[in-house]
Amino acid sequence: MHLVLISGLSGSGKSIALNVLEDGGYYCVDNLPSELLPQLIDSLSAQGYSKVGVAMDVRGGAGIRELPRLLDSLKAKVELRFLFLDAKDETLLKRFSETRRRHPLATESRTLVEAIREERELLEEIALLGHHIDTSDLKAATLRDWVRQFIAADASHGLTLLFQSFGFKHGIPLDADLVFDVRCLPNPHYDPDLRPLTGRDQPVIDYLEAQEDVGRMAADIFHFVSQWLPSYVRDSRSYLTVAVGCTGGQHRSVYLAEWLARQFRDGEDEGGNDGLRVLLRHRQLSDAAK
């Protein structure tokens, strides 16, 4: 059985992710108390279901804290994937305000801000169990695409190396494992002809590749990731997210994330990491990165 578990903060997009699984042919269950997970798996397995998606969060009660132990016991029975969705507090506050939905931990004596803080503390340990996606500032279509990438990845493939561009003016992504700041590089934004373009467009690529510092920065990041990647593999990591940030997340970070992903996809990493899977995402571009 292929089991995909989804958890995360209320308002972070779990319903969107579960709908993607359902569209992909998964038997989906929302808001399942964690203590019922083993019984559900046994029952669905007996009925012949091979693809199951389950959303679990604080709505299921305090038993969510037992999830790490339950997952260890299930690994012998199923091919397990875990997806944790997160978002910055200000994003969650805005979403609850716009939808006028009630937070599951909010009460007459507990404000929305306090409820979000308490939920984040309750899920702190669980957030470390699987692939982390920060949905702050993401369009629903982009989140759907990223979830499809996640479920399409072969869990037995080994470590997935994810390069992600972002803009510092939007904040550092919560899902980043390694963060590289490239704001010190020459900025195409100040050229009126290049300003509306992105780091994917040839005129911007030509501009940046003509800058010696850009080449040095790219090589330094490439060698750092290459050198330490085997250590993350030995740590049994399934995902490693490398975030590259410039001011707006449109030119320099996009170019460097594209360049780095291409180097590792071409198998040019110095460690000879067989079985490496490379993904690419751009947080601030309007279209979902492939």
Token output for 45: 């397995």
- Closest by Cα among 151, 137, 174, 186 to 286: 137
3 and 141 inside one domain: yes
Whether 288 is covered by a domain: the verdict is no
Q: How many separate domains does the chain show?
A: 2
144 and 28 inside one domain: yes
Whether 125 is covered by a domain: the verdict is yes
114: domain CATH number is 3.40.50.300
d(CA 194, CA 207): 9
Whether 287 is covered by a domain: the verdict is no
Whether 141 is covered by a domain: the verdict is yes
Residue 199 known to bind ligand: no
142 and 259 inside one domain: no
Whether 265 is covered by a domain: the verdict is yes
Instruction: Give the per-residue pLDDT at 273.
Output: 54
26 and 56 inside one domain: yes
Mean predicted confidence (pLDDT) in 271-287: 76
188 and 132 inside one domain: no
Domain boundary among 126, 150, 174: 150
107 and 29 inside one domain: yes
Strands 178-181 and 160-167: unpaired
Whether 106 is covered by a domain: the verdict is yes
205 and 264 inside one domain: yes
Residue 12 known to bind ligand: yes
15 and 94 inside one domain: yes
Residue 9 known to bind ligand: yes
Residue 10 known to bind ligand: yes
Residue 15 known to bind ligand: yes
Mean predicted confidence (pLDDT) in 39-63: 91
| Angle at CA of residue 154, ends 269 and 265, nearest 5° | 25
Instruction: Give the per-residue pLDDT at 271.
Output: 47
Give the amino acid at 255: Y
Q: Structural domain of residue 87, as residue ranges?
A: 1-150
Q: Which residues does 231 contact at the CB level (< 8 Å), separation at least 6? A: none
> What mean pLDDT, rounded, does the chain reach?
90
5 and 143 inside one domain: yes
142 and 175 inside one domain: no
Residue 14 known to bind ligand: yes
Mean predicted confidence (pLDDT) in 5-11: 95
Whether 96 is covered by a domain: the verdict is yes
Residue 30 known to bind ligand: no
Instruction: Give the per-residue pLDDT at 154.
Output: 61
The pTM score is: 0.83
Domain boundary among 150, 182, 206: 150
Mean predicted confidence (pLDDT) in 150-166: 82
Q: Which residue has the higher pLDDT, 128 or 260?
A: 260
Domain boundary among 150, 178, 211: 150
Whether 290 is covered by a domain: the verdict is no
245 and 108 inside one domain: no
Residue 60 known to bind ligand: yes
138 and 4 inside one domain: yes
